[in-house]
Amino acid sequence: MGTVYHGQPWFGQRLAEKHDFLRERVLMNVQQRSGSGPLVQSPRSPSSQSPYLTVSVSDPAKMGNGVQAYISYKVITKTNLPEYEGPEKIVIRRYSDFVWLRDRLFEKYKGVFIPPLPEKSTVEKFRFSAEFIEMRRQALDVFVNRIASHHELQQSEDLRIFLQADEQTMERARSQETGIFKKKPADLMQIFKDVQSKVSDVVLGKEKPVEESNPEYEKLKNYIFQLEDHLAEAQKHAYRLVKRHRELGQSLSDFGKAVKLLANCEGNVLGKAFTELGAKSEILSIKLQKEAHHLLMNFEEPLKDYVRAVQSIKATIAERANAFRHHYELAEAIKFKEIDMNKLRLTRSEKLGEAEHEYEELKADGAEAARRFDRIVKLMNEEIVRFQEQKTLDMGLAFHEFAKGQARLANSIAEAWRSLLPKLEACSSA
């Protein structure tokens, strides 16, 4: 994910290899949008360079004081697309700006799996720790880049505002959202439940809510729910492994110090062996802390990212259910209206004209609802394929990083102790 993912790449050197794969996808997406076809430079157009759009989120800086304090980030956009002020634009954004962008895209691009955001920090004292800030910066960088490389989402007007507007315009846009559109992340599943109850009450009188009868889609939903559970479990235990590495490292460091003190009581050979053992323990302790950090950034965080991605898919599933019910609701209403109208025709009622008018409106709404639902289905089908491909790659990479880091650490440890064995052997047989 080379040029697309600026700043520190998530998965180390592997990303350099990902670079070409993803850059082509971005270029293809961008070209389809600008309608310039395959990756060929047209000799006649003066600005005939291949279109590109790369974004980076960097330089977190603490702003303000006390309770009002927050982190701001530099968002740097490099592009040659005509809709953007190129070639480079830098804006300052904060977490709630990213939330605004995500919420707007969720509203407008139903059917698309909106890339997930890192959570708000629940623990106050952790909010400004270097580790948390870096984890968040990385996740925000990935978030924006996923949007910029998505065929549909990259065309969004809201993305353009986010990447280019000055801070005042951004703040104004952000405060407009309050109350009307603003859905908190925790409420996404609540939408699902609300819609269920609303349809039950209004259309079916507290009966079982209407759902699509689509076996393939049922399988997909089950897969998504199961995947979320297992991913969340895996992430929880991955985080515990990080903690265990830290704890083992700390204990080994304490142990090394204690052994060095013991060395002062001992004679020549044994004392020297102990001093070396103590020193090695401290060195290995540092390696353990490094591996804990590597595990966190290159394994646990990618897993967490996928849990969020799957939760985003669940939100889309809820939106599809909404759209289906709305469509179904109107289809039912249209049927009832037809029955009504036939009754009115038979009785030659005066209300026929009004009914016919309402009927036409219903049919127009019905067609629109059907159109919306079909679009969501179409988009979701494409999204699922992309998701599966990307997930296989990212998961394979994350677990590869896991095994690599573990092997590397174990190697260092085995080395260190093996090098000491001859000296200790000499002491115990002297």
List of residues contacting a copy of itself (CB under 8 A): 14, 17, 223, 226-227, 230-231, 233-234, 236-238, 240-241, 243-245, 247-248, 251-252, 254-255, 258-259, 261-262, 264-267, 270, 273-274, 277, 392-393, 395-397, 399-400, 402-404, 406-407, 410-411, 413-414, 417-418, 420-421, 424-425, 427-430
Helices 130-148 and 95-108 cross at an angle (nearest 10°) of 30
Beta carbon nearer to a copy of itself, 346 or 421: 421
Dihedral pair phi/psi, residue 330, rounded to 5°: -65, -40
Mention every residue, 6+ apart, whose C-beta is less than 8 A from residue 230.
none
Instruction: Map tokens 């804006």 to a residue.
Output: 91
Beta carbon nearer to a copy of itself, 22 or 195: 22
Beta carbon nearer to a copy of itself, 246 or 337: 246
| Shortest Å distance, C-beta 337 to a copy of itself | 45
| Shortest Å distance, C-beta 274 to a copy of itself | 7
| Shortest Å distance, C-beta 264 to a copy of itself | 8
Give the integer Cα–Cα distance in Å for 71 and 141. Answer: 14
Spatial CA neighbour of 73 closest among 107, 118, 19, 122: 118
Residue 5 in 3-state DSSP? Answer: strand
Sheet of strand 88-94, all strands in order from the earlier edge strand to the far edge = 53-63, 70-79, 88-94
Give the integer Cα–Cα distance in Å for 246 and 356. Answer: 73
For residue 37, count CB atoms less than 10 angstroms from its CB and return exposed for 0-12, middle for 13-18, buried for 19 or more: exposed
| Shortest Å distance, C-beta 146 to a copy of itself | 18
Token readout for 322 is: 């909404």
* DSSP code string of 205-219: SSSPPP----HHHHH
The count of other CB atoms within 10 Å of the CB of residue 327 is: 23
Beta carbon nearer to a copy of itself, 21 or 70: 21
Beta carbon nearer to a copy of itself, 36 or 406: 406
| Shortest Å distance, C-beta 213 to a copy of itself | 24
| Shortest Å distance, C-beta 296 to a copy of itself | 14
| Shortest Å distance, C-beta 234 to a copy of itself | 5
| Shortest Å distance, C-beta 352 to a copy of itself | 57
Beta carbon nearer to a copy of itself, 165 or 241: 241
**Across the chain, which distance is largest between two alpha carbons, in Å?**
118
Give the integer Cα–Cα distance in Å for 261 and 400. Answer: 40
* DSSP code string of 77-116: EEE--TTS--SEEEEEEEHHHHHHHHHHHHHH-TTS-PPP
Residue type, 238: A
Give the integer Cα–Cα distance in Å for 263 and 272. Answer: 7
Residue type, 367: A
Beta carbon nearer to a copy of itself, 170 or 252: 252
Beta carbon nearer to a copy of itself, 77 or 281: 281
88-94/53-63 β-pairing: unpaired
Helices 14-34 and 352-429 cross at an angle (nearest 10°) of 160
| Shortest Å distance, C-beta 290 to a copy of itself | 16
| Shortest Å distance, C-beta 217 to a copy of itself | 17
Beta carbon nearer to a copy of itself, 155 or 406: 406
Residue 72 in 3-state DSSP? Answer: strand
Mention every residue, 6+ apart, whose C-beta is less than 8 A from residue 37.
31
| Shortest Å distance, C-beta 21 to a copy of itself | 10
Beta carbon nearer to a copy of itself, 274 or 373: 274
Spatial CA neighbour of 108 closest among 148, 152, 140, 144: 152
